[in-house]
Amino acid sequence: METPVIPPARTGEHLLPGGRRLGWAEWGPPDGTPVLLCPGAATSRHLGFGAEAVAELGIRLISLDRPGLGVSSPAPGRTFAGFAEDIRRLAEGRSLGRPAMVGNSQGAPFALACAASGVVGALAVVAGADEVAAPHFAEALPPELRRLVELVRTDPDAAEKVFAGFTPQAMWDMVMANSPAVDLAVYQEARFAAAYRAALDEAFAQGAEGYARDTVLAMGRWDIDLSAIDVPVDVWYGAEDFGHSPDQGRSLTSRIPGAVRHVVPGTGGAVLWTRAHLILRALVRHVRGDGLTD
């Protein structure tokens, strides 16, 4: 297994127009190919991935705190489009051009919004939280998830208050209770568990409102024009992952022009960490066109 996590090499905050700040953390060479990471639910910029792959492939991996999480300033009522504009400003301010992006778990729809807005030059959706409120999933959802999706639809303010009651411990418990054994072997490894729990604690440092807003957006209907995406997109799911998407991204991939779906055997939702080299190699091939081969 690849080394799952190490501390970032550099951290900082980017000042956006209007005075809000976005927290970031970086791994790899400062002059490497920039790849943004839109992390999973309720985790902060400090939980990176693929340290060995980042070093070998010459990648500058930049993980981001979404608004209200970690050290990033809150943005009450924010939208997918607003997040994409934040990333546009970050890329311009830090001279990143049109970077590649990885959207993991709940970070996936935010990354897709960046692709639809033309902010990024290539995208990897990894164990992506799917649009569970889409009508074609109505009969496929477990009862509790169906109830929450319905609450988001009928009373998003009430749903946001429910999600604002979550804590780092509740998130940890939920992930541990709903992950297959192949993923628990990753998550419960001592170094990974320590890094994951620290990222949860940091993400909730300002309270749970940032996570709550993320979740209402992710569990509602997405106002993202997936058909407008005109950059390379790879969609990755572990074969043991049945929690992020009812059909393991099959319908999601079909809605994105030219997207390619990969189902990786021997792993589940932890595919970001267990197959980092495979994912990043494919991603930088899109943006660099440098003849990388498997």
**3, pLDDT greater than 70:** no
Question: CA 219 to CA 106: how far, in whole Å?
Answer: 9
Question: CA 223 to CA 138: how far, in whole Å?
Answer: 18
**4, pLDDT greater than 90:** no
CA distances from 174 to 25, 227, 243 (A): 26, 33, 12
Nearest to 8 by CA among 73, 40, 42, 54: 54
The per-residue pLDDT for 37 is: 98
Q: Provide the residue ranges of all domains of the chain, joining segments of one domain with +.
A: 10-288
| Burial class of residue 28 in the structure, from the number of CB atoms within 10 Å of its CB (0-12 exposed, 13-18 middle, 19+ buried) | buried
Assigned architecture for domain 10-288: 3-Layer(aba) Sandwich (3.40)
Tokens of residue 273, six digits: 């960490």
Per-residue pLDDT reduced to its tens digit, 84-121? 999 999 999 999 999 999 999 999 999 999 999 999 99
Looking at the DSSP bridge assignments, the partners of residue 59 are 33
Per-residue pLDDT reduced to its tens digit, 201-251? 999 999 999 999 999 999 999 999 999 999 999 999 999 999 999 999 999
Per-residue pLDDT reduced to its tens digit, 50-87? 999 999 999 999 999 999 999 999 999 999 999 999 99
Per-residue pLDDT reduced to its tens digit, 257-286? 999 999 999 999 999 999 999 999 999 999
The per-residue pLDDT for 1 is: 55
DSSP string covering 172-211: HHHHHHTS-HHHHHHHTSHHHHHHHHHHHHHHTTT-SHHH
